[in-house]
Amino acid sequence: MVSATAAQAEDTTSVSTASREYTLLAGYGITIRGFGATRTQVQTVDAIGRFGYFLSDEVGKGWYRGRHELFVELPLHLAVDPRTRVMTGGYLLGSWKFTGLKERLLYPYVFAGGGVLYVDLGLPTMGSRLDFSYQGGAGIQYLLRDDLAITAECRYHHISNAGTASPNEPLNSIKILFGISLFR
């Protein structure tokens, strides 16, 4: 007969064994004037729903041991400066989650990818409401329990119309995000 605690331990999902990750992120972003062709300051309050799908088991040894993960994100970027407006769309990102520090309950990760955005900022320098984004960044997760973590990340975020309209001022931003992640 298997004890109740042994049965619970077998059913526990962790970052090393999960097949999916669900994350809610919230934070702040600001464009960097003079970075690339960015001239306009835009500040945003951001909310991002993320679905993560693990593509591999743990690979590698030592500190760089980790897992490949694919993120699908649904962002809502609420511009609060220069005026209150909305940007929304979808992103597809590839990620490497380091699992070599699991004894310390820390899971750093890096990611990169892009997507499509509907941008209603009312800026005449952007030329189009259908825009594209690419981004990359790094984050860290701290486990509160085997299947639950708090998340913090920083990302570079680029938006432009990819030359499909004129003018085409890009928005190059830095975003700081915090959230909570659930592993299944």
Tell me if 116 is assigned to some domain.
Answer: yes
Residue 3: per-residue pLDDT: 47
pTM comes to 0.91
Question: What are 78's strand-pairing partners?
Answer: 45, 86
Which CATH number goes with the domain that contains 137?
2.40.160.20
Tell me if 96 is assigned to some domain.
Answer: yes
CB-based burial, 12-39: b 16+ in 10 Å, e otherwise: eeebbebeebebebebebebeeeeeebe
DSSP letter assigned to residue 59: B
Tell me if 51 is assigned to some domain.
Answer: yes
The radius of gyration of the chain's CA atoms, rounded to the nearest angstrom, is 19
CA–CA dist 90, 109 (Å, integer):
20
Tell me if 91 is assigned to some domain.
Answer: yes
Tell me if 2 is assigned to some domain.
Answer: no
Tell me if 103 is assigned to some domain.
Answer: yes
Residue 59: pLDDT over 90: yes
Tell me if 171 is assigned to some domain.
Answer: yes
Q: How many domains does the chain have?
A: 1
Tens digits of residue pLDDT in 88-145: 999 999 999 999 988 899 999 999 999 999 999 998 899 899 999 999 999 999 999 9
Domain assignment of residue 165, given as a range:
17-183
Q: Which helix (H) or strand (E) holds 10?
A: helix 4-11
Tell me if 11 is assigned to some domain.
Answer: no
Pairing of strands 106-120, 85-98: antiparallel
Residue 63: per-residue pLDDT: 83
